[in-house]
Amino acid sequence: MTDQFPQGFLWGTATAAHQVEGDNRLNDWWAWEQVPGHIRNGDRSGDANDHYRRFDADFALLEQLGQNAHRLSLEWSRIEPGPGQFSAEAIAHYRQVLASLRAHGLEPMVTLHHFTNPVWFAQQAAWESPDAPAQFARYVGRVVDELGDAARFWITINEPTVFAYQSYLKGDWPPGYRSLTAAGRVLGNLIRGHWLAFEQIKARAPHSQVGLAHHVRLFDPDRWWAPFDRLAAVVYNRLFNLGVLRALETGRLTWFQRRFISGGQGPRRSQDFLGLNYYTRDRLRFSPRNRAEFFATRVIPAGVPRSDLGWEIYPEGMYRTLRGFAEARLPIYVTENGVADADDHLRPAYLVDHLRAVRRAITEGAQVRGYFHWTCFDNFEWGEGYAAKFGLMDRDRRIRPSGRLYAEICQTGSLPASVPPPTAPPEPEPPRAPELR
């Protein structure tokens, strides 16, 4: 097996508008951040990475680091600050951003919804409302009318399951609800929003490539021999991983999704590629009293390598997921993969091990066409604020050793012969319940 990647492979990093742009006052996250207790250490996104103004210099840096693609999101609340009111200024700004990417040789991959909602939309029950999919599609239609010629790759929605879970079931993100019914309704409406957006984009830009960034988490039984642990893993896999993919494949909501919203069919095969966000896996232990979490508890055994956020580091999961995806016979882009690692002692090995898993899946037939590392520089990590550091660079764009290593990989299109070992052993940490993301 060679560690050379195919010709034309896209090498890049991924960001989301609210996490990097700064001063995003018109969305629901800005308001949420002002309330003490919502964000770790009381952090607020504030001016984030000031990327709204510094984008051109930032893209020049990514070009220098050998990248040839970049995933970013457009901030809906800037483009449509009031219902049906579109901002010519914001649209002109994003036109410049996309032109700058091209000028720096970076193929844009544009996400239309990455967790944040305009305040006006949030005030109208956001994704719980039956009107939400059509309102989202109106925004998407306008964006593609204005910018459809400036990008070929479009991602409708980032991680519908994570969004529904964090915002409506776990209650850690705005609007902070804890309701299975609300989460189910939101998930159904996000899928309908994707269907409508897919049709809007295809009608206006038929040659575009449209997909959705799906967060796949591996669920394994904690005890291989325990039938109920195994059952829990099957149920979680269906609910969290397979449900969305099925709905996109068949154009119909699954039985579980139909319990929460009525009606609604979409086009069959409503994606041109599969977008995969892969970070970690969970081991599940059956716990009959944990009704709120579908009768299972997520555990990480002591001694398992993990990130600063306690997520297990499990590169084999990348391979297993891609191998499963290969059956869909669609091109695949790894739209996110990365690790919270403040001192960069884990990231070099994480990077190489996960890319090796990608390479192995390609050898076995998975059509992986690109990899976007999360993320280029430390940024506002939602509920974790600035404490979780996922960057190949720090917030001031100082390049970490892993950033240099990634540059070498992008420039040569191949992996180094040996995996850099972790530079310092991780401090032993008490096991902590992992988050579902």
Judged by the rule CB under 6 A, the positions of this chain that interact with ligand FCB are: 16, 158-159, 162, 215, 277, 336, 374, 381-382, 390, 437
Shortest distance, position 72 Cβ to ligand FCB, whole Å: 11
Shortest distance, position 335 Cβ to ligand FCB, whole Å: 9
HEC states along the chain? CCCECCCCCEEEEECCHHHHCCCCCCEHHHHHHCCCCCCHHHCCCCCCCCHHHHHHHHHHHHHHCCCCEEEEECCHHHHCCECCECCHHHHHHHHHHHHHHHHCCCEEEEEEECCCCEHHHHHCCHHHCCCHHHHHHHHHHHHHHHHCCCCCEEEEEECHHHHHHHHHHCCCCCCCCCCHHHHHHHHHHHHHHHHHHHHHHHHHCCCCEEEEEEEEEEEEECCCCCHHHHHHHHHHHHHHHHHHHHHHHHCECCHHHHCCCCCCECCCCCCCCEEEEEEEEEEEEECCCCHHHCCEEEECCCCCCECCCCCECCCHHHHHHHHHHHCCCCCEEEEECCCCCCCCCCHHHHHHHHHHHHHHHHHCCCCEEEEEECCCECCCCHHHCCCCCCCCECCCCCECHHHHHHHHHHHHCECCCCCCCCCCCCCCCCCCCCCCC
Whole-number Cα distances in Å, 71 to 21, 25, 122, 155: 14, 22, 25, 9
Q: Which residue type is seen at 344?
A: D
Cα of first residue to Cα of last residue in the chain, in angstroms, is 32
Which CB atom, from 100 or from 277, has the smaller least distance to ligand FCB? 277
Which CB atom, from 229 or from 378, has the smaller least distance to ligand FCB? 378
Shortest distance, position 388 Cβ to ligand FCB, whole Å: 7
Which CB atom, from 377 or from 382, has the smaller least distance to ligand FCB? 382
Shortest distance, position 96 Cβ to ligand FCB, whole Å: 23
Shortest distance, position 145 Cβ to ligand FCB, whole Å: 27
Which CB atom, from 167 or from 222, has the smaller least distance to ligand FCB? 167
Alpha-carbon distance 268 to 254, whole Å? 13
3 state SS of 7 = coil
Which CB atom, from 132 or from 436, has the smaller least distance to ligand FCB? 436
Shortest distance, position 336 Cβ to ligand FCB, whole Å: 6
- Of the candidates 113, 160, 159, which has an alpha carbon nearest to the alpha carbon of residue 137? 113
Which CB atom, from 128 or from 381, has the smaller least distance to ligand FCB? 381
Shortest distance, position 8 Cβ to ligand FCB, whole Å: 25
Please provide the DSSP assignment of 352-384 as one string: HHHHHHHHHHHHTT--EEEEEES-SB----GGG
Which CB atom, from 27 or from 277, has the smaller least distance to ligand FCB? 277
Shortest distance, position 432 Cβ to ligand FCB, whole Å: 17
Residue 223's contacts (CB-CB under 8 Å, 6 or more residues apart) are 229, 285
Which CB atom, from 215 or from 360, has the smaller least distance to ligand FCB? 215
Which CB atom, from 121 or from 374, has the smaller least distance to ligand FCB? 374
Shortest distance, position 115 Cβ to ligand FCB, whole Å: 7
Shortest distance, position 377 Cβ to ligand FCB, whole Å: 13
Shortest distance, position 276 Cβ to ligand FCB, whole Å: 12
Which CB atom, from 378 or from 381, has the smaller least distance to ligand FCB? 381
Which CB atom, from 222 or from 308, has the smaller least distance to ligand FCB? 308
